[in-house]
Structures are given as C-alpha cells and as structure tokens.
C-alpha cells in the first residue's frame, strides 16, 4: 500500500544519503520518487478523512423514531445476548447494577444501544490479557432526584493515560493498536448522547484500577423541534 511504499522510499533515501558513491543524479531521482509518493499519500489521506467524516455525518442523522426506552430491557434482553460471544472470547463478565423502578428514557433505543455497545466493547478491550478477577465490566444505572438517569460503564482495566484521556473524544484518535480502532466510536457516541438525548458523556475516572464512562440522560422528552432536527 501507499504507506509501505513511502516507508521503503524513506529507507532508500537514507541509504543513498549515507552512500558516498551515490551520484547527485541518483540522489535527485530518489528524492523525486519520494515527493511523488508523499503527494499521493496526502491525497489518499484527504479522501479517507472525507469518506469517514461522511459516514459520521450520516450516523448523526440515521436515528429512528423516538419512543420511551425501557433501560433494563435494552441492557438485559437486547444488548447482553449480542455481547455474550465477545465476552466469552475474552473470558470476561458483564454485571448490571440497576436501581429498582428506573424511569423510562425517551429517544431511539437502537442509538442508545449503539453507544452502550461501544462503551462495553471498549471496556472488554481494556481488560484484555488481565487476570480473570479483573475481566469484569459493570454497568450501573440510577435516577438521582428523578430528573435524569445516571449511567456508568466501569471496567477494571489499566486505565487511560492523562494525555490520551484529553483526546479520547477527538475524531480519529484511538488508544488501540493498529487495526483494532478507527478513532470514531467515542466521537460518534458523544454526538448521539448530546445531540439526540440532550445529555452528556464523559470519562469521569481513569487510573491503574480501571476506567469509568458516565452518561447523564435527562428524563423529559425533547421538544418537537429538537426531535425533528436530531
């Protein structure tokens, strides 16, 4: 691919630069090839960014009809079966700590499910390779004072370093190894929570003993104008 070609040419440039017998013409030829590849890589990068941003823009408008959301049902009957295979592969456990008589939320259940699935999958990845006692993800839900639902997704992983924590919601930023993350999941998740549910999504704690992502979701239904614009 383009990046491999660029790396190979950089290596060739270094070799030519260190070769006292290389002529000026040879040096110029290698530099010319490198300039062409760099231009192509820049063009490919611009196209990739444009394409991925178009996917993200489509995601913002892809929600279905808003309706009351039964959160325990969404977690226990819809999401948990979908995540069981991933959990079994990782050797992890998923635990729900849900307050009794949680009020319904309002919005598109599939979109909230998308956010929760992303956070739980990230938590599973964060615990990968750790002792079984730390392969546990806890989802907590409560409704303090009856004005909002507070949702925590908690893992016992090794945490996110402070410099990365400041950027985790940036587009295309990921702490995962190459091939495992696009850097779009958390960015899209926050857009959904803020834009469609009128809530907030933040990393509220992270350290050597684990990480917590917290959603605050208002209970009231959004105004009709806001729903049509979402």
Percent of the chain with pLDDT over 70: 68
Q: What is the DSSP string of 121-154?
A: HHHHHHTTTS-GGG-EEEEEEE-GGGTEEEEEEE
Give the lowest-confidence range in 51-55, 166-170, 223-227.
223-227
Rounded Cα distance, 43 and 31, in Å: 18
Exposed / middle / buried, residue 116 (Cβ in 10 Å: 0-12, 13-18, 19+): buried
List pLDDT tens digits, range 93-149: 999 999 998 999 999 999 999 999 999 999 998 888 888 889 899 999 999 888 899
Model confidence at 87, pLDDT cuts 50, 70, 90, reads confident
Report field, pTM of the whole predicted structure over 0.75:
no
Asked if residue 181 lies in contact with residue 175, where contact means CB atoms within 8 angstroms, the answer is yes
Residue 1 pLDDT: 46
Could you state, in order of their start, the residue ranges of all structural domains in the chain? 2-60, 67-229
Handedness of CA 172, 175, 179, 185 (dihedral sign): negative
List pLDDT tens digits, range 197-216: 999 999 999 999 999 999 99
Residue 225 pLDDT: 47
CATH number, domain 67-229, options 3.40.50.150, 3.20.20.70, 2.60.40.420, 3.30.565.10: 3.30.565.10
Residue 36 pLDDT: 63
List pLDDT tens digits, range 30-56: 666 666 666 666 655 665 555 455 555
């Amino acid at each position: 691919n383009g990046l491999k070609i660029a790396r190979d040419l950089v290596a060739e440039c270094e070799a030519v630069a260190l070769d006292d017998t290389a002529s000026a013409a040879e040096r110029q030829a290698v530099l010319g090839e490198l300039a062409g590849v760099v231009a192509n890589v820049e063009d490919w990068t611009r196209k990739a960014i444009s394409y991925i941003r178009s996917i993200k823009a489509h995601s913002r408008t892809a929600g279905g009809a808003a309706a009351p959301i039964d959160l325990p049902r969404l977690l226990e009957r819809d999401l948990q079966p979908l995540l069981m295979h991933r959990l079994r592969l990782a050797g992890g456990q998923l635990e729900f700590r849900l307050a009794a008589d949680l009020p319904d939320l309002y919005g598109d259940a599939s979109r909230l499910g998308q956010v929760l699935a992303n956070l739980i999958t990230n938590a599973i990845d964060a615990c990968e390779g750790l002792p079984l006692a730390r392969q546990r993800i806890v989802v907590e839900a409560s409704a303090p004072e009856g004005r909002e639902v507070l949702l925590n997704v908690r893992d016992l992983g090794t945490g996110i370093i402070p410099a990365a924590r400041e950027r985790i919601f940036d587009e295309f930023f990921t702490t995962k190894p190459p091939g495992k993350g696009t850097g779009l999941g958390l960015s899209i998740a926050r857009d959904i929570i803020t834009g469609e549910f009128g809530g907030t999504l933040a990393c509220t704690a992270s350290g050597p003993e684990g990480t917590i992502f917290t959603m605050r979701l208002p209970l009231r239904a959004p105004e009709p104008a806001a729903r049509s614009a979402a």
